[in-house]
């Protein structure tokens, strides 16, 4: 089964928002064996929407539409759906009851006329309940193609996908099994890896695909396969994994499907009964944010001291000003003192620190832009590592966060 996602709304096309909805939908569809063939973002324009619907219908079995279902006038999706399906809007009492309930319980304001219009849905559509908002989701079938239309507000869309769309798709369609296995590697570039695994790649069976995904100092290698027989697919992936793994043994960090670095670190900390503290300079809160983004961080995370100003490193983290004078604020000794003192202040078992110059200018230290030191303090002592992360600010920060997580994981394994 192939799907196309159509996102409607000018805001994506003028670069005002990032299309995270499609990422979520693609991931969820893949899990149940629907492969996404195309993602199409178009404007709130009737003719263009009609054209995109027809093109998608000619290509795929399932068309997922997000956006353009709000109560305001720039949202024309519902009327365009009526035109495409030669249908008309009819009043739906159940939807109005749901909207009335949401207003009473959560909005705590009187219902507006604009909201009442949301109770009108195309007569050929089945309603997909929107638990978190007033615009209903819709399911319409036409000549073997399933159209699912949802509002673009992310948490409303997610609720409809999870509770309504996915269970119905699984019931309605005979879905194949899809498996991806993604190998996280570090310390080697895309071309060098490709040269090393060339024979493996040439010998891959047609049923297994390999992709290279480079990002912020790491390359991920993804093997993919699909088929109707789960066992056959799993066996194909397992066989190729067995061949690939010894070739990348020295640069292999783990499988992405088994969790991100930070998720694995969190698990290891909880299992080992250890707590973590962080002291950040150049990463400016990005490192701690990786941990607090997921619930449950309070089980192992004490917190992070973001000491951006040099004086704050002295005042709060008790870094020796003489060391800063002698070695500069971007130095091994400062990274080490930051880690040791964060560990002490937070009374944690492990502490990690970052100090560096992300650029574009040099700041309080004379070191070259891109120079970063990462310190790690544990019960058995402190160590620090120096890295040159290039001269692109965002990438220096991203690569430093990645490298910190790698070092932290290594520390927990040792």
In the window 198-217, what residues touch its own copies (CB under 8 A)? 201, 209-215
Measured from the CB atom, the residue of 139 and 346 that comes closer to its own copies is 346
β-pairing, 177-186 vs 145-150, is unpaired
- Using the contact rule CB under 8 A, the part of the chain among 12-20, 76-84, 246-254, 371-379 near its own copies is 12-20
Q: Which is nearer to its own copies, 88 or 112 (CB)?
A: 112
In whole angstroms, how close is the CB of 196 to its own copies at the nearest point? 10
Q: Does 316 help bind its own copies (rule: CB under 8 A)?
A: yes
Per CB under 8 A, contacts with its own copies among 58-117 are 70-74, 107, 109, 112-115
Minimum CB distance to its own copies, residue 124 (Å): 26
Q: Which residues contact 220 (CB under 8 A, 6 or more apart)?
A: 182, 183, 184, 185, 212, 213, 214, 256
- Note whether 331 and 291 are within 8 A (CB): no
Residue with Cβ nearer its own copies (222 or 386): 222
* Number of residues in the chain: 414
Query: Which region among 165-173, 247-255, 332-340, 342-350 touches its own copies (by CB under 8 A)?
Result: 342-350
Among 54, 232, 245, 309, contact with its own copies (rule: CB under 8 A) = 309
143 φ/ψ angles, rounded to the nearest 5 degrees: 45, 55
Burial class (CB in 10 A: 0-12, 13-18, 19+), 83: middle
Query: Of residues 32, 285, 383, 386, which one binds its own copies by CB under 8 A?
Result: 285
Instruction: Look up residue 249 and give its DSSP letter.
Output: G
Determine contact, residues 88/79, Cβ cutoff 8 Å: no
Determine which residue in the list 181, 218, 302, 343 makes contact with its own copies, applying CB under 8 A. 302
Q: In what order do the strands lie in the sheet with 371-378?
A: 276-280, 350-356, 371-378, 381-388
Q: Closer CB to its own copies, residue 112 or residue 238?
A: 112
Residue 143, exposed/middle/buried by CB under 10 A (0-12, 13-18, 19+)? exposed
Q: Pick between residue 72 and residue 86 the one whose CB is nearest to its own copies.
A: 72
Determine the interface stretch with its own copies among 23-31, 82-90, 142-150, 240-248 (rule: CB under 8 A).
23-31
Residues of span 140-169 touching its own copies by CB under 8 A: 153, 155
Q: What is the DSSP letter of 17?
A: S
Least CB distance to its own copies at residue 53 (A): 13
Q: Which stretch binds its own copies (CB under 8 A): 76-84, 88-96, 243-251, 303-311?
A: 303-311
Nearer to its own copies, 55 or 127 (CB): 55
Interface size with its own copies, residues (CB under 8 A): 109
In the set 84, 183, 261, 346, which binds its own copies (CB under 8 A)?
346
Which are the contacts of 215, defined by CB distance < 8 A and separation ≥ 6?
none
Buried b (16+ CB within 10 A) or exposed e, 297-324: beebbbbbbbbeebeebbebbebeeebb
Among 19, 253, 349, 406, indicate the residue that binds its own copies (CB under 8 A): 19
Q: Measured at the alpha carbon of residue 33, what is the angle toward residues 30 and 38, in degrees to the nearest 5?
A: 55
Q: What is the CA radius of gyration of the chain?
A: 26
Q: Which of 195, 199, 242, 246 binds its own copies (CB under 8 A)?
A: 195
Interface segment toward its own copies; rule CB under 8 A; list 79-87, 243-251, 309-317, 379-387: 309-317
Q: Is 187 in the site for its own copies (CB under 8 A)?
A: no
| Residue 261 touching its own copies (CB under 8 A) | no
Choosing from 46, 79, 131, 180, the residue that interacts with its own copies (CB under 8 A) is 180
Q: Degrees (nearest 5) of the Cα angle 73, 48, 56? A: 120
């Amino acid at each position: 089964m192939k799907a196309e996602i159509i996102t409607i709304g000018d805001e994506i096309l003028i670069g005002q928002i990032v299309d995270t909805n499609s990422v979520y939908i693609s991931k969820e569809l893949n899990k149940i064996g629907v492969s996404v063939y195309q993602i199409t973002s178009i404007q709130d324009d009737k003719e263009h929407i009609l054209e995109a619907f027809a093109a998608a219908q000619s290509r795929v079995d399932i068309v997922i539409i997000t956006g353009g279902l709000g109560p305001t006038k720039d949202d024309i999706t519902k009327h365009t759906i009526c035109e495409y399906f030669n249908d008309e809007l009819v009043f739906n009492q159940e939807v109005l009851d749901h909207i009335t309930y949401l207003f009473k319980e959560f909005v705590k304001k009187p219902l507006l006329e604009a909201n009442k219009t949301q109770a009108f849905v195309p007569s050929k559509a089945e309603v997909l309940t929107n638990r978190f908002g007033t615009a209903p989701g819709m399911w319409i079938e036409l000549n073997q193609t399933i159209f699912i239309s949802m509002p673009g507000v992310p948490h409303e869309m997610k609720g409809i996908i999870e509770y309504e769309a996915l269970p119905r798709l699984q019931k309605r369609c005979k879905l194949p099994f899809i498996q991806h296995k993604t190998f996280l590697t570090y310390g080697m570039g895309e071309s060098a890896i490709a040269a090393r695994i060339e024979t493996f790649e040439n010998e891959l069976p047609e049923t297994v695909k390999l992709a290279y995904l480079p990002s912020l100092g790491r390359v991920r290698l993804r093997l993919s396969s699909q088929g109707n027989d789960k066992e056959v697919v799993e066996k194909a992936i397992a066989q190729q994994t067995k061949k690939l793994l010894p070739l990348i043994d020295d640069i292999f960090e783990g499988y992405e499907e088994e969790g991100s670095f930070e998720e694995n670190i969190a698990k290891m900390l909880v299992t080992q009964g250890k707590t973590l503290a962080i002291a950040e300079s150049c990463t400016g809160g990005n490192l701690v944010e990786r941990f607090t983004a997921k619930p449950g961080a309070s089980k192992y995370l004490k917190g992070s001291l973001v000491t951006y100003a040099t004086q704050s490193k002295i005042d709060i983290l008790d870094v020796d000003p003489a060391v800063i004078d002698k070695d500069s604020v971007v130095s091994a000794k400062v990274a080490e003192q930051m880690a040791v003192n964060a560990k002490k202040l937070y009374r944690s078992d492990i502490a990690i620190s970052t100090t560096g110059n992300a650029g574009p200018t040099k700041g309080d230290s004379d070191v070259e832009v891109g120079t970063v030191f990462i310190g790690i303090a544990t019960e058995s002592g402190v160590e620090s590592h120096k890295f040159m992360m290039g001269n692109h600010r965002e990438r220096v920060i991203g690569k430093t966060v990645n490298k910190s997580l790698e070092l932290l994981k290594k520390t927990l394994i040792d």
